[in-house]
A and B are shown apart, each in its own frame.
Chain A
Amino acid sequence: MPEPKLRVDAVMSDIERDVRSRLRRHLIKRGGAAEYHDEELFELVRATLARAVEERNLDAMLLPELLDTDVEWRLQSHLSLSSHRPVAGRFILFFKRRVLLPLTRWLFEYSQDNFRRQDHLNRVLFACIEELALENARLRRDVAHAGTRRPT
């Protein structure tokens, strides 16, 4: 008789439950939100944030579109060199490209790496805000519907 199959989903479900429980205890021990004593509430908060981090498409969000005003707010991690001087500009650009940039390349790359991390973090925060806004909108709609259905 073949051995019963060991299901990855079932094993992972046990592991994830254990990890969540450890995480909750850890946060309580470190003085995290008092609400986390309530296991059910903690799970609701964790699931909301996890949805934002793991499931949202960070390239398609509403908040960055709304922010897209006259003021440039995006981190620019690529470098573009230019000069407004019509004659000397060519020489200045040559100097920047061939002398200054190679000499400061290490600093540029270090900054660029950190800008990329910050950019990613910003997008994750946008996703968290969007998830909370969605949750809020759903709840408001449910409350409104419940109000209209209330017997008189």
Chain B
Amino acid sequence: MKLACVVHRYGADIAGGSEGHCRLVAEHLAARHDVTVLTTTARDHITWANHYPAGESSIGGVRVLRFPVVRQRHIHRFMDLSDLVFADRGSRDDEEQWFRENGPDAPGLIDYLRQQGAAFDRVLFWAYRYANSYFGLPLVADRAVLVPTAEEDPLIHVDAVGPLFAQPRGFLFLTPEEETLVSMRAAPGRPSQVIGCGLDPASGPADLSPLDGLGLTDPFVVYVGRVDPNKGCQALMRHFQRYAEHGRAVQLVMAGPASMPIPSHPSIKALGFVSDAVREALLTRARALVMPSPFESLSMVLLEAWNRGLPALVNARCKVLRGQVTRADGGLYYGNTTEFSAALDYLLDRPDAARALGGQGLAYVDREYRWPVVMEKIERVLAQTG
């Protein structure tokens, strides 16, 4: 088949969840299909400032067409409009304007879909919240497959989302929770699959030497990802500081670029952006992965941790994380500081039980998230949406 994958940003150096998911799926699809990625020249997910050259290139064996962004995101205007729309006080025009302000505003990409969309057998769109999906999908609805990457945030309840979800011929979901959330508003009977994301088995024991000199002390628990209040990091550090007040000797390692101040605390170690080697070593040596995000459509880091047999401690208020942990029997969850402390105590005081939970997480990944399993599901939806 001739396939197009439409995504707001694309590149080997882009760490974002839906962008990374798109890249992995596109590269695996390219083994059997003629795949073109349609994306923008943006790298920065806040401003959408142009970074990559426009035009054609090849990444990981996949043809990539980039279209320039004509207007950077005005973050204050966007936040003000978000307040209006999410409080259900905006008009339908305001809601549509929200997608425009969210961007990225790349009219060349939309024009390309309008003129060339029919040349593709299927057009796959990643992330419903961005302008390229909202304005692009209706142009090729008869061949569109949406990977919504929907979270239980206020946008999902906005009226303008209903007509968008009614249009694609098929859906690829990341978790059963996302499927439930979107299916309520999607046209009935459309082919769909819960695919998650594929992982290759971990390649033997990780080399721990990249951790030397980083100032880590055992035992430690690790957070991997963007250090951002929207990812629950503020709450995590608050919970952890309260936990550390009781004198427990354990370190919280924050591995990821920070977009918020990190408190200076003897038990909190911020590493900033880390290489893949450090990341692998952290996931091998840590006693648990902590995932505080209140909104997730799928946590790739959680799957990577389980791939290394590491148990997880996740925010119970995020249905997706709680659902993943419960289905896998691969970790614990917390809803407040007291539960956070009790669950962390359990994982630290009972290493055998913690190891068992991590092992069950690995078994779950083996069952559900290996590439042959994931690709078979995607192929089924591509075949059914013809």
Chain A positions within 8 Å of B, measured between CB atoms, are 3, 5-9, 11-12, 15-16, 18-19, 22-23, 54, 59, 74, 77-80, 105, 112, 116
Tally of A-B Cβ pairs under 8 angstroms: 55
Q: Which A residues are in CB contact (< 8 Å) with B317?
A: 54
Chain B positions within 8 Å of A, measured between CB atoms, are 76, 80-81, 83-84, 87-89, 154, 157, 317, 325-326, 329-333, 335, 338-339, 342-343, 346, 353, 356-357, 360
Interface pair B80/A18, CB less than 8 Å apart: no
Interface pair B332/A8, CB less than 8 Å apart: yes
Distance from A112 Cβ to chain B, minimum over Cβ atoms (Å): 8
| Nearest 7 interchain pairs by C-beta | A78-B83, A78-B80, A6-B356, A77-B83, A8-B329, A15-B342, A19-B338
Q: Which A residues are in CB contact (< 8 Å) with B339?
A: 15-16, 19
Distance from B72 Cβ to chain A, minimum over Cβ atoms (Å): 17
Q: Which A residues are in CB contact (< 8 Å) with B329?
A: 5-8
Partner of A15, one of B76, B326, B332: B332
Q: Which B residues are in CB contact (< 8 Å) with A59?
A: 88, 154, 157
Known: A6-B329, A6-B357, A15-B339. 19 other contacts (CB 8 A): A6-B353, A6-B356, A8-B330, A8-B332, A9-B326, A11-B353, A12-B333, A15-B332, A15-B346, A16-B339, A19-B339, A22-B338, A22-B342, A23-B338, A74-B89, A77-B87, A80-B80, A105-B76, A116-B83
Partner of B331, one of A5, A8, A18: A8
Chain B interface mostly: helix
Q: Give complex CA distance A5, B330 in Å.
A: 11
Interface pair B88/A78, CB less than 8 Å apart: no
Q: Which A residues are in CB contact (< 8 Å) with B356?
A: 3, 6
Q: Give complex CA distance A128, B170 in Å.
A: 39
Partner of B87, one of A7, A22, A74: A74
- Asked, given contacts A6-B329, A59-B88, whether A19 binds B342 with beta carbons under 8 Å apart, the answer is yes
Q: List 13 A-B contacts (CB under 8 A).
A: A3-B356, A6-B357, A6-B360, A8-B326, A8-B333, A11-B332, A15-B339, A15-B343, A59-B88, A74-B89, A78-B80, A80-B80, A116-B83
